[in-house]
Structure 1
Amino acid sequence: MKKIDSKDYNIKKDFYDVLSNHPQVENLIKYLEAKSNILLFGGSVRDYGENRFSIIPRDFDMVVADLDENLEEIILMFSLVPQKNKFNGYKIRMNNLKIDIWKIQDTWAFKHNEVVYSSKKDLNKTVFLNIDSIFYDLNEDKLIDERFIDREKINTIDIVLSSNPFPELNLMRAFRFKYKYKLTFSNRLNEYLINWMKNFDNEYEAINNLRKTELNRYNKSIIDWDKELQKFIN
């Protein structure tokens, strides 16, 4: 995983270069940037260091802070047809471009009082995994990545916030990151996995649940699930 060097990155320019092929979306984001504060986070920012958006991310996750207007009404203003997502926000799809966008206060951890929201920087406390704790402030052209940098130092994938509504999805993603970036699980993450597996009749059923979750989301596997299963049954 390549580090994003603040001396040579130009996320804002490269992001808008992607949007330039989709004028309606580009105009929407420019409008929101003028009216609020936009944060890009997760995979799209993390992978930027590898390809500078030359490969369009699977999706762009973003939140808007300090927006006084109705987000759905704004999206409709630009003749876009949003779909509701699981975060009480909206999915926007246009050709190969996918965006998930919602108001920052609707982030699950804030809404359920798992994390107290005092400023936009608190967003990095709401993710399940430290590898997801990297954010880009579009308005300020600034990375917020303290926990992500800590992960780079120790090469370990760890839990930031254990409370989350989608444990299967997040555990599966942890395994994918482990294989893709050759990471090790922290003790805390291993303990969380073991406790989660107790919800099933046996280890095989638990691992198979993660296998199915991966295939449903990505249509292909990069994880040797049989090898992972052996670690629990031997």
Structure 2
Amino acid sequence: MTASEEVLDRGLSADIADFIRGPHGHEIGDMIDRLSPVGNCAIFGGLARDFAREGRDAFKSDVDIVVHGLPGVLDALLSQMSGRRNQFGGYRLEYGRFDFDIWPLQMTWAARVGHVKVRSLTDLARTTFFDCDAVLFDCRTLEISRSDRFWTSIGQGIVDINLEPNPNYIGTLVRTLRILFDKKQKLAPRLARYLARGVEGSRKDIMDYAARDRRPIGSATEIDLGNALVSWRAKALEEVVCHEFPTPINI
């Protein structure tokens, strides 16, 4: 960790801590208070990523909270709070102005299927598909944990793969397209290859998923998206930018 990254970590931590106890995010702090008797909590992924990338005003995602406690105790509490169980072993619920996804540490998908050994909240940084999501805020210590590439990804606007196996292949391809066309981020070579293979083999599934999601990718209509996916592989080399690979690579 460099000195500049330590400064960035401290700034991000202070911003999140202030937000969840302030007038615009106090429901998140309230939720943490309700969950903390079960075990230590971490705000994982999207909130910290958006705060790091563009500041708190850019945050429009759900709030992901992971609890290091007994799953049965957490189940009982979230059931009382009218949480809806999801397919990944966690719960989804609305509280105040925010939608929350909450799950016990042990049910983290990458840990449950054996891809990553997860013993503490800090291990979560090794479980995300995208490197820009590999960040968490420990609600007890107020410390930031993240992947080694997190600040590089945020600072350079280049997204890469952190852990390739994931439980939602088509959804991940769609999200990669949103990163490329909506967020205007660049793809590192490994992620570009992953997307190119997916577009080549799963174009119809990608289009169907995007249609069900009712959120257009960029400004594309369904026909435009189909044409874009057909031509994307040919254009991929122009989109790939990574300081570690200054010359084009074949995909």
TM-score range, shorter chain: 0.7 to 0.9
Structure-1 residue corresponding to 2:244: none
Corresponding residue of 1:48? 51
1:5, distance to aligned residue in structure 2 (A): 6.0
For residues 189-204 of structure 1, the aligned pairs below 5 Å read 189-197=191-199, 199-200=201-202
Find the partner of 1:15 among 20, 23, 33.
Answer: 20
Change (3 A) 1:154 1:174: same
AA partner of residue 105 (structure 1) = Q
Aligned mates of 1:198, 1:157 — CA distance in 2: 20
Q: Which runs of 5+ in 2 are unaligned?
A: 1-6, 236-251
Match of 2:65 in 1: 62
Distance 1:233 1:153 in 2: 27
Q: Provide the rounded CA distance (Å) in 2 between the counterparts of 1:56 and 1:153.
A: 17
* Distance in 1 of aligned mates of 2:25 and 2:185: 33
Equivalent position of 2:116 in the other structure = 115
3-state SS in 1 of match to 2:78: helix
Counterpart-to-counterpart distance in 2, 1:154 and 1:115: 27
Tell me which residue corresponds to 2:173: 171
- 1:161 equivalent among 157, 160, 163: 163
Which amino acid in the other structure matches residue 132 of structure 1?
A: D
Residue identity opposite 1:65 in structure 2 = H
Moved more, 112-121 or 181-190: 181-190
5 Å matches for 1:73-84? 73-77=76-80, 80-84=81-85
Deviation sequence 1:117-151 (CA, Å, 0-9, x none):
23322211111111211211111111222331132
How far apart are the structure 1 equivalents of 2:59 and 2:193?
Answer: 35
Matches of 1:154 and 1:56, distance apart in 2: 19
In the alignment, is residue 29 of structure 1 matched against residue 25 of structure 2? Answer: no
Flag structure 1 segments of 5+ consecutive residues without an equivalent: 201-205
Q: Is the CA contact 2:38–2:70 (under 8 Å) kept in the aligned structure 1?
A: yes
Amino acid at match of 2:153: R
* Residues 68, 41 of structure 1: alpha-carbon distance in 2 compared, 3 angstrom cutoff: closer
Distance across 2 between alignment mates of 1:233 and 1:187: 14
What residue in structure 1 maps to residue 246 of structure 2?
Answer: none
Q: TM-score, normalised by structure 1?
A: 0.79
Aligned CA distance change for structure 1 residues 15 and 105 (closer, same or farther; 3 Å): same
Q: How far did 1:159 drift?
A: 1.0
Per the normalisation by structure 2, the TM-score is 0.74
Q: Compared with structure 1, are the counterparts of its residues 5 and 180 closer, same or farther at alpha carbon in structure 2 (3 Å cutoff)?
A: farther
- Residue 206 of structure 2 is aligned to residue 210 of structure 1: yes
SS at 1:116 equivalent: coil
Is this contact kept in 2: 1:157–1:178, CA < 8 A?
no
Match of 2:141 in 1: 140
Distance 1:215 1:37, change over 3 A: farther
- Compute the RMSD of aligned alpha carbons: 2.9
1:48 and 1:133 map into 2 onto residues whose CA distance is: 13
Deviation at 1:26? 5.4
Separation in 1 of the partners of 2:166 and 2:211?
A: 21
Letter in 2 for 1:14: F
Structure 2: how far apart are the matches of 1:125 and 1:216?
30
